[in-house]
Amino acid sequence: QLQLQESGPGLVRPSETLSLTCSVSHVSVSGYYWSWIRQPAGKGLEWIGRIYVSGHTKHNPALESRVTMSGDTSKNELSLTLTSVTAADTAVYYCAKVDDDSAEFDPWGRGTLVIVSA
């Protein structure tokens, strides 16, 4: 059964770069779409972007200039980097598989909390 697990530093200083990894089990990252989504504490969900590992990416314009997404087929992992972080980037970050036809997200990883603080 497909499983996703996010990991990251937990704490990032303002103005620095946030780097997260999503490890994918039981299915290859190639050949599917994957998304990153985040959720500040007590708030709603924000789509960050989508990646097709052997092809293109699509980002939320609200974050586009700061976001980079990539995939590593040898490790079967996805990566997210977000530059110049501020307190507003404090959130739980999720990775999720995207359905090709209907654009919904399933399954999701458990999420990883990132706090931006000095």
Partner 1 sequence: DTQMTQSPSSVSASVGDTVTITCRASQDVSRWLAWYQQKPGKAPKLLIFAASSLQSGVPSRFSGSGSGTEFTLTISDLQPEDFATYYCQQGNDFPITFGQGTRLDIK
Closer residue to partner 1, CB minimum distance, 16 or 98: 98
Determine the size of the site formed for partner 1 (CB under 8 A): 23
Sole residue written with tokens 């996703």: 4
DSSP state of 45: -
Which one of the spans 13-21, 24-32, 74-82, 103-111 is the region binding partner 1 (CB under 8 A)? 103-111
Closer residue to partner 1, CB minimum distance, 42 or 118: 42
Q: Which of 46, 57, 66, 68 binds partner 1 (CB under 8 A)?
A: 46
Residue environment code for 13-45, b if the CB has 16+ CB neighbours within 10 A, otherwise e: eeeeebbbbbbbeeeebeebbbbbbbeeeeeee
The Cα-based distances of 67 to 3, 59, 60, 82, 88 in angstroms read 24, 7, 9, 5, 15
Q: Is 57 in the site for partner 1 (CB under 8 A)?
A: no
Tell me which residues touch partner 1 (CB under 8 A).
35, 44-47, 50, 58, 60-62, 94, 96, 99, 102-111
